[in-house]
Amino acid sequence: MTLRVPPPLDTAISVVAAETGFAAMAGETCVATVVEGDGGLGAPGFVPWETALECEKAFAGDDGHPFPTCFACGPAHPTGLRLRPGQQPGRPGTTACTWIPAESGDGIVWAALDCPGGWVDTVERVLGRMSCEVYGRPEPGARHILVADSGAPDGRKLAARTALYTADGELLAAAAQTWIAVQR
């Protein structure tokens, strides 16, 4: 998936066939394009529940969130996921957080995989592209862990990987992302 414009939050989005895949449309505006990936995304390693809880204490969004209404990690979104991905101690470029989903499905998995990759460093970034492989669905009400890591930035771009695990360490989904640094 490649985002073309910031997704509108209170607007219906439809998915239509396109030349090379699909397009997510908000009215006449193409919000994103979607094509089938080639697989083999890889995933950052699992961390235990207790470690992910400790990481949440370092969530940088507590000191002024750049997008407070973000569905995945924004503290001001009324029905959001409230994820708090924080840096893993002693592991620069990595984050982890806990998640107990209220629902299941591919859309909610993609949303959960989004923000942990955006918090792997302290530069304000927006998601440019994300590829995802879903192996299983999260169980509503059960404990899950999100983990992200990244390489070194390449100019304004940063490549990150995120993964969704059960509390027992079963990999449910993995994503590869490209984040773009923004200036306000």
Give the chain's mean pLDDT: 89
Q: What is the DSSP letter of 154?
A: B
* C-alpha 113: how far from chain center: 3
Note the pLDDT of residue 94: 95
Note the pLDDT of residue 32: 78
Reduce the DSSP state of residue 114 to 3 states and report it. Answer: helix
pLDDT digits (tens, 9 = 90+) for 123-178: 888 888 888 888 999 999 999 999 999 988 999 999 999 999 999 999 999 999 99
Contact 143, 96 (CB under 8 A): no
Nearest to 132 by CA among 180, 176, 178: 176
Exposed, middle or buried, 93 (CB in 10 Å: 0-12/13-18/19+)? middle
pLDDT digits (tens, 9 = 90+) for 87-126: 999 898 999 999 999 988 778 998 999 999 999 998 888 8
Note the pLDDT of residue 19: 78
Note the pLDDT of residue 13: 81
Measured between alpha carbons, how far is 175 from 125 in angstroms, rounded to an integer? 17
Place of tokens 């999100």: 146
Measured between alpha carbons, how far is 43 from 20 in angstroms, rounded to an integer? 26
Q: Say what percent of the chain tops pLDDT 90.
A: 58
Nearest to 92 by CA among 121, 123, 127, 133: 121
Q: How far is CA 21 from CA 32, 37, 103, in A?
A: 11, 10, 27
The whole-model pTM stands at: 0.82
Note the pLDDT of residue 184: 65
Note the pLDDT of residue 75: 93
Query: Bridge partners of 132?
Result: 175
Measured between alpha carbons, how far is 43 from 79 in angstroms, rounded to an integer? 28
Query: Bridge partners of 48?
Result: none
Note the pLDDT of residue 37: 58
Tokens of 74: 């924004």
